[in-house]
Structure 1
């Protein structure tokens, strides 16, 4: 079974040619509040990250970033991540970013489902989880429609311009 190919998309390893995409997305200030970034990344830092990801597998780096690619024209539409990978407890956190040109086309749903299939059926993980800002209705809908369930709330977890914001914890357990 090809775990990384879907109807319209495929997930592939990050390549050196992806520096420009990752640089643009990681340095999008509108996305910083939803992730961990608080400052811009240099092209050098991103190149170094990509080079390191070529030398280490998920068991060494505890992270796997895959690029979301459209099958019809091979354009790069975004990226998905497994991070905070814990091989003992067989779980990982999930992150996803879809370029604005590809949003609202069902690509995030397909990419997330491919990532889940890979994580559960190939890596044999028991669970995946995500932290989503409570105001991020689109991401909450995405994860919930992909079989993730709300399992907790981190109160006042994210500092925003006008105070603090809660974060919803979502979890998907592998099918039996």
Structure 2
């Protein structure tokens, strides 16, 4: 199965993920990258989970849960967004929730697994990601996974009273 690695596996969202999703979506430190400005209620997130089964070709996005193989515990999410089958591209976002888990190679394995899925099952030509200039951990992660910085959006993100540049990273399927 494409979505199983050595340390993690990726799975579809379940109703039982509500509390984990609620905690993550309401973490203000992540709002900058998710373009969120207000908290989410459990009611709204429950509705989202009830519709999470919809096809990526219909809704143009897909969120999968990153689970540690050894414990089956949910440790993060990987998001595909702005899926464009005509131009064969899709955006990628990833979050590992605990600082401890960020140092264990889970994110790199998740990016590898989702990239294989995107190229083999969605027939995409490229995956792109936007990363703010000060997110050095994500920059290192995506570069380690073969993504190349191909552009820069000046003053793209306004956060904490100042503008930040956002870098465009791409991984092409050759």
**Alignment TM-score, normalising by the size of structure 1:** 0.96
The structural deviation recorded for 1:30 is 0.8
Q: Which residue of 2 aligns with 1:135?
A: 134
Q: Which residue of 2 aligns with 1:60?
A: 58
The structural deviation recorded for 1:73 is 1.2
Pairing 1:107-146 to 2, within 5 Å after superposition? 107-146=106-145
The structural deviation recorded for 1:162 is 3.4
Deviation beyond 4 Å, 4+ runs, structure 1: none
Equivalent residue pairs, number: 173
Q: Which residue of 2 aligns with 1:69?
A: 67
Pairing 1:1-176 to 2, within 5 Å after superposition? 2-54=1-53, 56-100=54-98, 101-175=100-174
**Alignment TM-score, normalising by the size of structure 2:** 0.97
Q: Is the 8 A contact 1:3 1:122 kept in 2?
A: no
Q: Deviations over 1:62-106 (max 9, x none)?
A: 101000011111000100010000011111000101011411111
Secondary structure of the equivalent of 2:65? strand
Q: Is the 8 A contact 1:62 1:84 kept in 2?
A: yes
The structural deviation recorded for 1:38 is 1.1
Q: Which segments of 5 or more consecutive residues in structure 2 lack a partner in the other structure? A: none
Counterpart-to-counterpart distance in 2, 1:147 and 1:50: 32
Say what the alpha-carbon RMSD is for the aligned residues.
0.9
Once structures 1 and 2 are overlaid, which stretch shifts more, 67-76 or 155-164? 155-164
Q: Deviations over 1:130-174 (max 9, x none)?
A: 000100000011111111100000000011223100000000001
Counterpart-to-counterpart distance in 1, 2:111 and 2:168: 16
Counterpart-to-counterpart distance in 2, 1:173 and 1:110: 18
Q: Deviations over 1:88-129 (max 9, x none)?
A: 111100010101141111111001110101001121111000
